[in-house]
Amino acid sequence: MIGFPKGKIAFRMFQETDLESLHWGTLDVLENAGIKVFSEECLKLLEAAGATVDYKQSSAKIPGNLVEEAITKAKKNITLFARNPKYDVVLDGRRVYCCTDGNGTGVMDFETGKRRMSTSKDLEMVGKVANALDSAHIFWPCVSSQDIPDYYRHVVDLKVALMSIEKHVQVETTSHRREAQWLIKLGSALAGGEKELRRRPIFSSMHCPFSPLQLDGGSTEGALALARAGVPISFYGMPQAGITGPVTLAGSIIVNNAEVLAGLTTAQLAAPGSPFIYGTGGAAFDMKTMTWAGGGPERALISSGAGELAHWYGFPILCGGIVTSAKVPGPQSCYEKMSSGMPQFYAGCDMVAGLGLLDDVSMLCYEQMVIDNEMVKIMARLAQGVIVDDDHMAIDLIKKVGPGGSFLPERHTMNWLHKEHFMTDITDRRTGELWEADGKKSAVDRAREKVAKIMKEHVVQPVATEVSKQFEDIVVAAEKDIRDNGLN
């Protein structure tokens, strides 16, 4: 089974009374301040259910009982199915999964090292690399196909992603209902029909509100279409503490919660009982540089805090983390990614995103993806802590080996080695003399060697020829349909 077992070390910031306060504060905001929803379809759903709607202001004040009913209705035990069933992700609260980071628009060219815009070929290649990395459990398309016109780019992105990796694909760019319908067609072609897609959804979709307290009309209508098709959806709030959320982290968690629960409520009105994943990508706003501080410690605290709240509701959590503002792989990228991701492992968040991107999730770096793959295994091992039972205490073995003996040849050592110890991949623990003799390679050098090996040797099982043909036909039809209907 893929994923990391949830650790023994439990990170908790909130008491039960804290969670209740955050919940009731959120209901107060939704009922009295309300939320803007830029979709007549969504506003009509909310109004029919009892919300107070102002169509001129595109706003809805949602009563608390309606929100709590939606929390109860939603499907929470979810499996994110993969093209290859061995990579299925079971969100049952017992494991932590890692996602690649998503939707960057640039890439650090692997051959030249220069920054450039990303292409569909880059998306294909990074899917192959992610397929080979054991800690990349879920694939957000790391970059978008900037060589494709934007009005049907997201359809192409899903097609390329599904063909490039055998793992579950999670898109984060659905921008309108018509586009969502074409994504459903792609998923259905691979799954074997719409009924099979509903039974084994091989892709899911996350939708970002506009903080504070705004749901984009096109994206939300797309979410409703996907929910009706049985595709798991997530509303993924991204308040920036200090500008689009209160500077206090509890206040930004409430903004995030209000946005997520408003999206949940709307989706459950459209598709009662549809699968839903709670999401957050909140972070601080850096007042010195006037930029998003994605790699700051506040992101980790907001994400892990939102994770506790999501679990209190019973939802699996998809959270941001493992993020950096660094422009190249190196010390800053590693300490920011480690510190912004580790608390989510301690908090037992179900899905932690962030593998592969630099420069505030805008630029793909293959070497960084391999380094991230190593770091998340360290985070997961730290969260496991120290287990105390008869096997782990090994008292009989200690007595058997006795003073001055060696535990190296004992069967117990081999039985427990890979379970107890972090096994390095690119981390160099050799002596200085051996390191010098091998060319004084840095972690980035060793990561680069691993990427080159994957690109040369790793094989992703191709989709069936008839499915590939269906994909091409769907993309051609989608391009014409979206263009002709004025959505470009």
Rg of the chain taking only CA atoms, in angstroms: 23
Q: Which two tokens stand for residue 388?
A: 């105390």
pLDDT of res. 295: 86
Q: Please give the Cα distance from 485 to 488 (Å, whole number).
A: 8
Q: Please give the Cα distance from 1 to 88 (Å, whole number).
A: 8
Q: Which two tokens stand for residue 230?
A: 């049985």
Mean pLDDT along residues 78-101: 96
Q: Report the percentage of the chain scoring pLDDT > 90.
A: 90
pLDDT of res. 10: 72
pLDDT of res. 129: 98
Q: Which fold has domain 4-14+71-384?
A: TIM Barrel (3.20.20)
pLDDT of res. 485: 87
- From residue 426, alpha-carbon distances to 239, 352, 413, 487 in Å are 35, 22, 23, 46
Q: Say which residue the tokens 């919940």 belong to.
A: 23
Contacts of 2 (CB under 8 A, 6+ apart): 86, 87, 89, 97, 134, 137
Q: Say which residue the tokens 């009706």 belong to.
A: 228
Q: Please give the Cα distance from 344 to 361 (Å, whole number).
A: 18
Mean pLDDT along residues 13-25: 96
* Sequence spans of domains, the chain: 4-14+71-384
Please determine, for residue 174, whether its predicted confidence score (pLDDT) is greater than 90: no
Please determine, for residue 88, whether its predicted confidence score (pLDDT) is greater than 90: yes
Give the confidence band of 321 by pLDDT, cuts at 50, 70, 90: confident
pLDDT of res. 293: 84
pLDDT tens track for 333-371: 999 999 999 999 999 999 999 999 999 999 999 999 999
Please determine, for residue 1, whether its predicted confidence score (pLDDT) is greater than 80: no
pLDDT of res. 146: 96
Please determine, for residue 257, whether its predicted confidence score (pLDDT) is greater than 60: yes
- From residue 116, alpha-carbon distances to 87, 108, 110, 129, 150 in Å are 32, 7, 11, 19, 17
- From residue 167, alpha-carbon distances to 94, 163, 366, 370, 391 in Å are 19, 10, 18, 17, 35
If one counts every other C-beta atom within 10 angstroms of the C-beta of residue 388, the result is 8
Length in residues, the chain:
488
Q: Please give the Cα distance from 90 to 96 (Å, whole number).
A: 10
Give the confidence band of 487 by pLDDT, cuts at 50, 70, 90: low
pLDDT tens track for 21-71: 999 999 999 999 999 999 999 999 999 999 999 999 999 999 999 999 999
Residue 413 burial (10 A CB sphere; 0-12, 13-18, 19+): middle
Please determine, for residue 419, whether its predicted confidence score (pLDDT) is greater than 70: yes
Q: Please give the Cα distance from 421 to 84 (Å, whole number).
A: 29
> pTM for the whole thing?
0.95
In 283-297, which positions are buried (b, 16+ CB within 10 angstroms) versus exposed (e)?
bbbbeeeeebbbbbe
Mean pLDDT along residues 448-473: 97
pLDDT tens track for 392-408: 999 999 999 999 999 99
pLDDT tens track for 131-144: 999 999 999 999 99
Q: Please give the Cα distance from 171 to 187 (Å, whole number).
A: 12
DSSP3 helix / strand / coil % (the chain, rounded to 5): 50, 15, 35
